């Protein structure tokens, strides 16, 4: 049975539309005008137990709204969903003990207390034995390299240290499903790497089902084999990450290195594809997939080539162009 099953999920918000000026404000006091805003529209997907799925989309695409409905924080306008066999917005106590939601820009730790005391409170709420709690905190704090910060007030921690403590708090009761919304936002590259490695290892050991949203494509590439791409509240791709490139990027990048003294080759190379970068003796061109082999043969015949390299378009570029569309 799927850990997460979503069918036709839709969420429409009523937003107040204010008329301009003072007169508009007065009219709004007497009669308010509302307009519907469709945040999520007819979304359907399923996630298997232990799967780690990337949930991608531009700002305002409906990612966070979807996660909040699956966490029971929002009621949908229509559609259905089941997580671990439960309807999330019915908020059964048994369900709330089996999932965790971590929002990258929201705090769940007590700001003026050390993180260890917040963990103690969470352990009481979830009925975790003291020895079990201590073992889990020690294990996760070692992996995230924050064990020496457990007794420091949360307000005095760096952004990266707070993010790691929030992750420990979310996983303290070992949920079967974890919803992560921008878990590495604002972190430096070292902290991002530590968090990614921790999530990969935790998923492998505990078989936790994880749905992850992130604007850092490195997070997605290193953690997720499958991605769901959503925009304007609708899903328009669901499949393996490498299929995104195959399906939406119909070109490759060819880098040509020419021998010294070959002169300006950009004019000739411009006939084979779009020049995207050039420097003395080196040119990068964008070539249609079906023309890569003929172009390489023609370039080798036409120029004094010392090296040639063929690469897929970076996934960041593909996703950026998808969002731009």
Say yes or no: 241 and 318 in one domain: no
Mark whether 295 and 191 lie in a shared domain. no
pTM for this entry: 0.80
Domain boundary pick from 195, 219, 245:
245
Beta 99-103 vs 177-181: how paired, if at all? parallel
Residues 107 and 153 in one domain: yes
Looking at the structure, do residues 159 and 264 belong to the same domain, yes or no? no
pLDDT computed for residue 27 by the predictor: 67
- pLDDT score at 28: 66
pLDDT for 264: 62
pLDDT at 263: 58
Domain final position from 196, 211, 245: 245
Same domain (yes/no): 227, 276 = no
Tell me if 48 sits within 8 A of 68, measured CB to CB.
no
Together in a domain, 133 and 260: no
Residues 241 and 254 in one domain: no
The residue from 210, 245, 280 where one domain ends is 245
pLDDT of residue 50: 93
Q: How many CB atoms lie within 10 A of CB 239?
A: 14
> Does 197 share its domain with 98?
yes
Looking at the structure, do residues 25 and 131 belong to the same domain, yes or no? yes
CA of 84: how far to CAs of 45, 78, 90, 112, 117, in Å?
A: 14, 20, 13, 35, 30
Do both 136 and 12 map to the same domain?
Answer: yes
Burial (CB count <10 Å: 0-12, 13-18, 19+), residue 146: buried
CATH (domain of 64): 3.40.50.300
Q: Note the pLDDT of residue 273.
A: 80
Same domain, 168 and 262: no
β-pair type (4-16, 34-47) = antiparallel
Residue 66 DSSP SS3: helix
Q: Where are the beta strands (DSSP E) in 48-141?
A: 52-56, 78-83, 99-103
Looking at the 3D structure of the chain, how many domains does it have? 2
Domain that holds residue 204: 4-245
Tell me the backbone φ, ψ of residue 100, rounded to 5 degrees: -145, 145
pLDDT per residue, tens digit, the chain (325 aa), is 889 999 999 999 887 677 777 676 666 667 777 788 888 999 999 999 999 999 988 878 888 999 999 999 999 999 999 999 999 999 999 999 999 999 876 778 888 899 999 999 999 999 999 999 999 999 999 999 999 999 999 999 988 899 999 999 999 999 999 999 888 887 888 888 999 999 999 999 999 999 999 888 888 888 998 999 888 888 888 988 888 877 777 788 888 888 776 556 666 777 778 888 888 778 888 888 888 888 888 888 888 888 888 887 777 777 777 776 6
Report helix, strand and coil shares of the chain as percent, to nearest 5: 40, 30, 30
CB-based contact 209:177 (threshold 8 Å): yes
pLDDT at 262: 59
Q: What is the CATH number of the domain that holds 317?
A: 3.30.70
The greatest distance separating any two alpha carbons of the chain, rounded to the nearest whole angstrom, comes to 79
> Given this model, what pLDDT does residue 276 score?
83
C-alpha 305/C-alpha 299 separation (Å) is 8
* Rounded Cα–Cα distance for residues 151 and 156 (Å): 11
Mark whether 102 and 130 lie in a shared domain.
yes
């Amino acid at each position: 049975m799927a850990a997460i099953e979503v069918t036709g999920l839709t969420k429409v918000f009523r937003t107040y539309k204010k008329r301009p000026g003072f007169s508009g404000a007065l009219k709004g006091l007497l009669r308010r005008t509302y307009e519907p805003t469709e945040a999520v529209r007819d979304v359907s997907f399923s996630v298997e137990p232990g799967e780690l799925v990337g949930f991608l989309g531009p700002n305002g695409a409906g990612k966070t709204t979807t996660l909040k409905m699956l966490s029971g924080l929002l009621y949908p306008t229509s559609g259905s969903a089941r997580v671990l066999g439960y309807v999330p917005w019915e908020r059964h106590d048994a369900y709330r003990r089996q999932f965790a939601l971590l929002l990258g820009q929201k705090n769940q730790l007590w700001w003026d207390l050390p993180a260890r005391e917040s963990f103690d409170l969470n352990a009481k709420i979830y009925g975790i034995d003291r020895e079990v709690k201590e073992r889990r905190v020690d294990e996760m704090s070692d992996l995230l390299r924050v064990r020496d910060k457990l007794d420091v007030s949360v307000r005095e921690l760096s952004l990266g240290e707070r993010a790691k403590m929030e992750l420990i708090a979310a996983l303290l009761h070992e949920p079967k499903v974890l919803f992560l919304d921008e878990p590495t936002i604002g972190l430096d590259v070292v902290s991002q790497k530590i968090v990614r490695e921790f999530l990969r290892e935790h998923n492998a050991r505990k078989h936790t089902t994880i749905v992850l949203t992130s604007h850092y494509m490195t997070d997605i590439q290193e953690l997720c084999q499958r991605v769901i791409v959503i925009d304007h509240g609708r899903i328009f791709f669901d499949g393996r990450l490498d299929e995104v490139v195959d399906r939406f990027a119909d070109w490759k990048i060819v880098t040509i290195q020419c021998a010294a003294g070959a002169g300006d080759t950009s004019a000739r190379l411009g006939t084979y594809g779009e020049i995207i970068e050039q420097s003395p003796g080196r040119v990068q061109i964008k070539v249609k997939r079906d023309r890569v082999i003929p172009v390489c043969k023609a370039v080798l015949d036409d120029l004094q080539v010392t090296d040639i390299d063929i690469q897929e378009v970076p996934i960041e570029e593909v996703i950026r162009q998808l969002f731009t569309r």
